[in-house]
Chain A
Amino acid sequence: MSETLVASRTPGTDTPVPGASGASRFWRRLRARPSALVAAAVVALLVLVALAAPLLTAVEGQDPTTYHPSLIDSARGGVPLGSFGGIGADHWLGVEPQTGRDLFARLVYGARVSLGVALAATALQVVLGVAIGVGAALGNRWVDQLLSRATDIIVAMPLMVMSLALLAIVPESFPRTVLVTFVIGLIGWGNIAKIVRAQTLTLKGLDYVSAARLSGWGRWRIARRELLPGLAAPVITYAALLVPSNISVEAALSFLGVGVKPPTPSWGQMLTAADVWYQAAPQYLLLPAGALFLTVLALTVLGDGVRTALDPRAASRLRVGTGRRREAKAGETAHSESDKPHKEGNA
């Protein structure tokens, strides 16, 4: 334990302290990475597009669900009329083959679904993960055993397969978007819980927490006032990586036809139908694929940037031969988990 204390007091390698100074240092470090800045700008733009979807489609004068049979050539199997898949002043990105629905409208409304589901599911995962992780670390031996084994099992179960299976037993009438959010959120909390448990155990042994305990603070008050702030950095780091992963899972489920169902537009669902139309209307395939790629890439780069800004050791570890490595190693236990990218999302 003394090693951890030494490491955390070494200038430049300390665990970020919450509060004003921590936040401003975080922003300074994040700004120092151009890639993270660009990614943050892209993410901000995407969020803006998602929020302003009704406004944007109103400007265009279209909506995502209206069929336009007059815009497709039913004699040729539903190919959009006009050049480049029906791109024009009325339909900025053309129309969907077979239905004639406006592609721009479906794309921007798809962003709402993607980001909405991913963010809500991440929030659920974080709440569950923190609650279970802290509970395991602070509970007695049996509580810890129970929660830790449950965490191990939930981590072992493949997220894709489990969410796929769970979608089978819920009646069709249940709103699909909410359902997908809950399924992803209820299954994907395992790694957060592991990280939080490890970090809480580390914090629990630190002097200031012992001091609080010795001065007669209750368990709950210590958890809220002394432990939770110390958990912020690893939780934010991991949550930032969960968002792109959740976006991929939602897209995958919708791609398989068990996630978000029509008429609600979703990028994954658009891709399912698109592959046979790639010659007649290539943008039908390229737009959702590109949007998905850009979103996940931007969020991943931003997540990496956030991690480096919150945990400089992650970056300095990769610099060969720095004298800091030894010290960094001592305090790394709680952070090493967050170095592993959450891989399920690329499934």
Chain B
Amino acid sequence: MNGFGGFVLRRAVGTVITLLAISVIIYVVFYATPGNVAQITCGPRCSPEQVRQVTEQLRLDDPLYLRYWHFLVGILVGRDYSTGTSLEHCAAPCLGLSYQSDQQVLDIILTKLPVSLSLVLGAMVLWLVLGVGTGVLSAWRRGRISERVLTAVTLAGTATPVFVIGLVLMIVVCGEFQLLPFPQYVPFTDDPEQWAWNLLLPWFSLALIEAAAFARLTRASMLETLAEDHIRTFRAYGVGERAIIRRHALRGALAPVIALNANNVGSAVGGAVLTETLFGLPGIGQELVHAVKVVDLPVVVGMVLVIGFFVVLANAVADVLYAVADRRVVLA
């Protein structure tokens, strides 16, 4: 079990265990609360008759571990919901049923997912390019005025909440100067050009803040790498500064950046929730906020689970990438 394959395998097993633990914790936190779970699950406007039905469907009279087992079985192989007269099958991975919209939670998530993925992936490209670019530039120009300006700008960037930047951008660009229409989501498959134009502002709002963190990290990491002995040797041999940065320093400096990118998936999801709400994009984040407001518990739990799974997977993938990028990493 040594070497790279063993490392990947160990990480995979660890990830599966973490995912299971997360599902237990989330289930217990949300479904073992004091108070009438059936009432909360069903929603504030449910009649006693409906509440009784929900209790029966979710087998809420069973002990907690059995209820979790049903829930887990639902996710892994699917489960059936009887709605009194008919039987509705919820195929794996079954995340449950929203009693407020009479839809399966997974369907709700799947219809919203493209919007959120468009937002986060597009923004990620932007923040990596902007952040790493700015970081490299300010490490290269260290001690000069341009570096001081960049440092100040990135500091201000890390201090600005995403909804403040988004709000200001939207008012300046769409309201005051009318350079762009107010964003309105257009599916990529309908019209890629409109899709991109409409997402431009949300991408920038989300990316600017994340970029600031990456710029600070890349700068620090570059400076550290540039101070290492092998770089000094290159300098002594007369290798130009540009070539040193491009060919030698950047690679060593990028490992922490990859790690930060994975750690930031969670914060990016949080940022996406705010961006979607601000710009009215019909993604998972907006749906989550809505579900929280109307207390649609199955939707909330399903979304938290899915988001948690994505974040844990991203971290695991990043660990492997980190080891690939930086061979000095001890595979433990």
Cβ of B160 and Cβ of A278 under 8 Å apart?
Answer: no
Query: Which chain B residue shows the least CB distance to A168?
Result: B292
Which residues from A are CB-within-8-Å of B22?
Answer: 153, 156-157
Which residues from A are CB-within-8-Å of B315?
Answer: 156
Task: Judge if B94 is at the interface, Cβ distance under 8 Å.
Answer: no
Cβ of A171 and Cβ of B288 under 8 Å apart?
Answer: no
Cβ of A343 and Cβ of B167 under 8 Å apart?
Answer: no
Query: Which chain B residue shows the least CB distance to A321?
Result: B227
Which residues from B are CB-within-8-Å of A72?
Answer: none
Task: Name the segment of B96-104, B187-195, B216-224 touching the other chain.
Answer: B216-224
Which residues from A are CB-within-8-Å of B293?
Answer: 257-258
Query: Which chain B residue shows the least CB distance to A160?
Result: B270
Task: Name the segment of B1-9, B27-35, B51-59, B81-89 touching the other chain.
Answer: B27-35
Task: Judge if A318 is at the interface, Cβ distance under 8 Å.
Answer: yes
Cβ < 8 Å to A, chain B residues 122-178: 142, 155-156, 158-164, 167-168, 170-171, 175
Query: Which chain B residue shows the least CB distance to A290?
Result: B164
In the bound complex, how far is the Cα of B118 from the Cα of A199, in angstroms?
41
Cβ of B159 and Cβ of A296 under 8 Å apart?
Answer: yes
Within the complex, the shortest CB–CB distance from B9 to chain A, in Å, comes to 19
Which residues from A are CB-within-8-Å of B170?
Answer: 275
Task: Judge if B274 is at the interface, Cβ distance under 8 Å.
Answer: yes
In the bound complex, how far is the Cα of B209 from the Cα of A340, in angstroms?
15
Which residues from A are CB-within-8-Å of B273?
Answer: 160-161, 164, 256, 347
Cβ of B18 and Cβ of A296 under 8 Å apart?
Answer: no
Cβ < 8 Å to A, chain B residues 184-225: 209-210, 212-213, 216-217, 220, 223-224
In the bound complex, how far is the Cα of B274 from the Cα of A278, in angstroms?
20
Cβ of A251 and Cβ of B288 under 8 Å apart?
Answer: no
Number of interface residues of A (CB under 8 A): 52
Given A248-B161, A256-B274, A285–B304 Cβ distance below 8 Å?
A: no
Which residues from B are CB-within-8-Å of A289?
Answer: 164, 167-168
Cβ of A346 and Cβ of B311 under 8 Å apart?
Answer: no
In the bound complex, how far is the Cα of B162 from the Cα of A248, in angstroms?
9
Cβ of B267 and Cβ of A344 under 8 Å apart?
Answer: yes
**Chain B contact residues (Cβ within 8 angstroms of A): what range?**
35 or more
Cβ of B161 and Cβ of A158 under 8 Å apart?
Answer: no
Task: Name the segment of B60-68, B71-79, B239-247, B258-266 touching the other chain.
Answer: B258-266
Which residues from A are CB-within-8-Å of B25?
Answer: 153
In the bound complex, how far is the Cα of B283 from the Cα of A90, in angstroms?
44
In the bound complex, how far is the Cα of B315 from the Cα of A164, in angstroms?
22
In the bound complex, how far is the Cα of B227 from the Cα of A248, in angstroms?
35
Task: Judge if A200 is at the interface, Cβ distance under 8 Å.
Answer: no
Which residues from A are CB-within-8-Å of B109?
Answer: none
Cβ of A252 and Cβ of B274 under 8 Å apart?
Answer: yes
Task: Judge if B297 is at the interface, Cβ distance under 8 Å.
Answer: yes
Task: Judge if A149 is at the interface, Cβ distance under 8 Å.
Answer: yes
Cβ of B161 and Cβ of A169 under 8 Å apart?
Answer: no
Cβ of A165 and Cβ of B300 under 8 Å apart?
Answer: yes
Which residues from B are CB-within-8-Å of A341?
Answer: 158, 213, 216
Query: Which chain A residue shows the least CB distance to B164?
Result: A289
In the bound complex, how far is the Cα of B162 from the Cα of A344, in angstroms?
11
Task: Judge if A159 is at the interface, Cβ distance under 8 Å.
Answer: yes
Query: Which chain B residue shows the least CB distance to A341?
Result: B213
In the bound complex, how far is the Cα of B164 from the Cα of A278, in angstroms?
13
Task: Judge if A293 is at the interface, Cβ distance under 8 Å.
Answer: yes
In the bound complex, how far is the Cα of B209 from the Cα of A344, in angstroms?
11
Query: Which chain A residue shows the least CB distance to B271?
Result: A347
Partner of A301, one of B155, B223, B270, B271: B155
Task: Judge if A292 is at the interface, Cβ distance under 8 Å.
Answer: yes
Cβ of A168 and Cβ of B164 under 8 Å apart?
Answer: no
Q: Which residues of B contact A (CB under 8 A)?
A: 18, 21-22, 25, 29-30, 33, 35, 40, 142, 155-156, 158-164, 167-168, 170-171, 175, 209-210, 212-213, 216-217, 220, 223-224, 226-227, 232, 260, 263-264, 266-271, 273-274, 277, 288-289, 291-293, 295, 297, 300-301, 303-304, 307-308, 311-312, 315
26 A-B residue pairs with CB within 8 Å:
A158-B270, A159-B266, A159-B270, A160-B273, A161-B266, A162-B304, A164-B289, A165-B301, A168-B295, A252-B162, A252-B163, A255-B274, A275-B170, A289-B164, A289-B167, A293-B156, A301-B155, A317-B224, A320-B223, A321-B232, A339-B220, A343-B260, A347-B162, A347-B269, A347-B273, A347-B274
Given A158-B308, A289-B167, A340-B217, 12 new contacts (CB under 8 A)? A156-B266, A160-B270, A161-B303, A169-B30, A251-B161, A252-B270, A256-B274, A275-B167, A296-B159, A341-B158, A346-B209, A347-B271
